[in-house]
Amino acid sequence: MMRRKNRKKWAALFAILMAAIVLLLLIMACYTYWRLDRLSENAVPFVGEDMENPGSNLIPSGQEAEANPETENPQEKTKEQVATLFKEIYHEDVINILLIGQDTQSGDHGRSDTMILLSNNQKERSVCLISFMRDILIPIEGRGLDRLNHAYSYGGPGLCINTINQNFDLDIQKYVVIHFDEMIELIDLIGGIDVSLSKEEAALYNGRFGWNLQEGVNHLAGQMALSHSRNRTIGSDFERTRRQRDILVAVYNRLLEHGGRENIFHLIDLVNQVSKMVRTNMSPWEIIALANNNINKDTDIEISLDRIPIDGTWKSQTYSGMRILKTDIEANREHLRSLIYAE
């Protein structure tokens, strides 16, 4: 009789323990969902595309849009949130997400310091990171010819997406705005990243910061990675965007190493840190699905890097007192569609 009572007692304690664990997991899941949901709290809305004149800002071959002299200085204009024009998805297997980087140290007063298109082909198990150079001279709706990075200053993520979609004939609907300063804590949280440095880069950082880096692969903490991404001393802006792509790939690889092995508490820490550095119009379920498909230790993802404009399609010039890249938009449009949609 006593043995039966003890058995019932332990069974009851086990049931209570399991109920407590399930409750804790539910609370953590709800908290994680809530934090992810807050990322899209102030998301830019969608509006129907103007079907009477779709793609009106496309530059035909051999032609240029007229300049708007009133828009030469974006800091004199009031920043407004422009709605994202709805676009039918061109390929059901391809997800295009525009990563918009803000560097608060740049002094650009809201301009996008970085624009990287993350194109994920789910069927082919591939990810392509494509940098759009910020100095591309391009028509911006309602503003005339201007630098591409001014679109964000004029109208936020919506106008930035619309400008790229209309000129390069893409179907971007999702965006993530990244605050690069906050990447320090995220990179430290995942234990640093491995990045390859040139001999010149290593010497620059050693002399400037007193670090002990060498040519080749180095393990960088958060502050070191941020300093590397901001490097404007060595090479042109093309090199700077290459460094930023390298860092994003390194962060992805580090997360991939941890995939499936992180405990729930570390996952919560990662979600908390990410919530500080990004805002997006992606839903929690879209974020979870994207992470599940691409950040997994058993995932075999092919990563490629590219930039716009491609070689041989641009010239560095001065326009209205600005250094710009006069770009063959049509050639780059064709390159992008071939790269992303295999056309």
The secondary structure of residue 156, as a DSSP letter, is H
* From 20-34, 73-87, 158-172, 194-208, the region with the lowest mean pLDDT: 20-34
Question: pLDDT tens digits for 324-334?
Answer: 999 999 999 99
Taking only the tens place, the pLDDT of each residue in 134-148 is 999 999 998 999 999
Residue 62 has pLDDT above 90, yes or no: no
Quick: pLDDT tens for 241-300: 888 889 988 988 887 776 544 555 666 667 776 777 788 898 888 887 887 777 765 667
Q: What is the mean pLDDT of residues 165-193?
A: 88
Say whether pLDDT at 178 is over 70: yes
Confidence of residue 6 (pLDDT cuts 50, 70, 90): low
Instruction: Determine the Cα–Cα distance for residues 101 and 113; give it in Å rounded to an integer.
Output: 6
**What is the C-alpha to C-alpha distance for residues 71 and 321, in angstroms, rounded to an integer?**
12
Q: Which residues contact 107 (CB under 8 A, 6 or more apart)?
A: none
pLDDT at 127 over 80: yes
Evaluated on CA atoms 272, 278, 281, 286, the torsion sign reads negative
Q: Please answer whether residues 159 and 77 qualify as being in contact, where contact means their C-beta atoms are separated by less than 8 angstroms.
A: no
312 or 58, higher pLDDT: 312
Token pair 């198990």 is at which residue?
Answer: 125
pLDDT value at 156 more than 50: yes
- Cβ atoms of 255 and 295 within 8 Å: the answer is yes
Per-residue pLDDT tens digits for 64-108: 444 444 444 443 444 567 888 888 888 999 999 999 987 555 444
Instruction: Say if residues 112 and 131 touch (Cβ distance below 8 Å).
Output: no
Residue 333: CB atoms within 10 Å:
18
Question: What confidence score (pLDDT) does residue 5 get?
Answer: 57
Please, are residues 187 and 251 in contact by the beta-carbon 8 Å criterion? yes
